[in-house]
Structures are given as C-alpha cells and as structure tokens.
Amino acid sequence: MNFLEERISKDGLVKEGNVLKVDSFLNHQMDVALLDQIGEEFYRRFKDKPITKVLTIEASGIAIAYAVARCFGVPMIFAKKAKSINIDGDMYTAEVESFTHKNKNKVIVSKKFLSSDDRVLIVDDFLANGCALQGLISITEAAGATVEGIGIAIEKGFQFGGRSIRNLGYHLESLAIVESMDAATQTVRFREP
C-alpha cells in the first residue's frame, strides 16, 4: 500500500451510498504534511510535462491543487461555483453535477486566467462518475489550452468516471484506486498497481 492508501485504511470512513469520508485528513480537517506528500507525488508523476497551470474545482480540490502547483512553481486556478445565472462573456462556464450533493452547479473560470498557450494539469480529490472532471476538461478546451494530465487523489474504481476519462485518451493518474468498499465492515480494498 502507498502512503495515501495506508491513510485511507486507517482513517477513512465508508458511508452508505458509495461515499468515502476522508474529512479527518483530506477535505475538512487537513493533514498538511500529507498534502505536501500528495503534491510531491503528482510532481514526480507529471514532471516531464510542460505544465503552466494547475486547475481544480472548489472547494475540496483547492488544497491538493495548491500543493501540486507549489511543486511545479506555477499558478493554481480553481473553478468557482457561480452564484448568479447572469454570467458575462468574460467567463468560461461548465455545468457540473455534484456526486455528493446531487445538485447541479454552474462553475466558472475567468478568461483572464486561461489561454491557448496554457498546458494544464487538472487535479481533484475524488473521481466518481467524472462530472467534475468533464467540466474542468471542457473549460480547458474552451480556452484552447491543452490538458497535459489529470491527477486524482482517490478514484473510486467501481464507478465509471475513471474508465470513461481514460477511454477519451487523457493521461489520468490516481494515487489510490478503491476497488470496493463496504460500509458494514468498514473495509476498503485497493486496485493493485
């Protein structure tokens, strides 16, 4: 098991409805040393790519994306959940359905911060059905920028997001891929590398 798989086994909580709670170390209370380690691991996996921006979605991707961007020495952008329906033409927008909240959000990135010269590393905490990633990919491509890679902390391999993103040809790296999990026994099984 790698460092993240070990931490999930120790402190993750399996909830009904295919939800893994990691809020004691990743997305509510944050273990900043673990986040640094995640940043370094994504740097190791993508350092040969000419990354100019790291892109994520608010809220829980932000800390991971910060750690990654710090290693690459590039800016980090997070797509914001738009409060207003009147979005002006200065924004790239995408519709994203939330896996955990079951609602739809419009997310926006200002055109000021992404351009056709950018080589983007997309980062998020979880990959389930892939809606969040599809939104970030469509924003990147609307800007004419290149998706150089996608880094996910925890992929739930039993949901279809990972397969569909890989089938589209993107270079997707997940630090932990959960093969199965069981709320009754609190067991989490990981995909072998």
- Contacts with ligand 5GP, residue ranges (CB under 6 A): 19-22, 27, 60, 99-100, 124-132, 156, 161
Both structure tokens of 100: 């955990």
CB 139 within 8 A of CB 82: no
Choose among 126, 137, 116, 130: nearest CA to 55.
137
What is the C-alpha separation between 111 and 142, in angstroms, rounded? 10
Amino acid occupying residue 110: S
What is the C-alpha separation between 63 and 69, in angstroms, rounded? 10
Residues paired with 124 in a beta bridge: 152
Measure Cα distances from 157 to 65, 80, 102, 129, 150 in Å. 21, 26, 20, 10, 15
Q: How far is the CB of 50 from ligand 5GP (least distance, A)?
A: 26
Q: Using the minimum distance from each CB to ligand 5GP, give the nearer residue, 71 or 154.
A: 154
Q: How far is the CB of 127 from ligand 5GP (least distance, A)?
A: 5
Both structure tokens of 67: 């750690």
Both structure tokens of 71: 């290693």
Q: Using the minimum distance from each CB to ligand 5GP, give the nearer residue, 52 or 105.
A: 105
Q: How far is the CB of 105 from ligand 5GP (least distance, A)?
A: 11
Amino acid occupying residue 136: L
Q: How far is the CB of 75 from ligand 5GP (least distance, A)?
A: 20
Q: How far is the CB of 166 from ligand 5GP (least distance, A)?
A: 13
Helix 3-11 crosses helix 32-46 at what angle (to 10 degrees)?
Answer: 150
Q: How far is the CB of 107 from ligand 5GP (least distance, A)?
A: 11
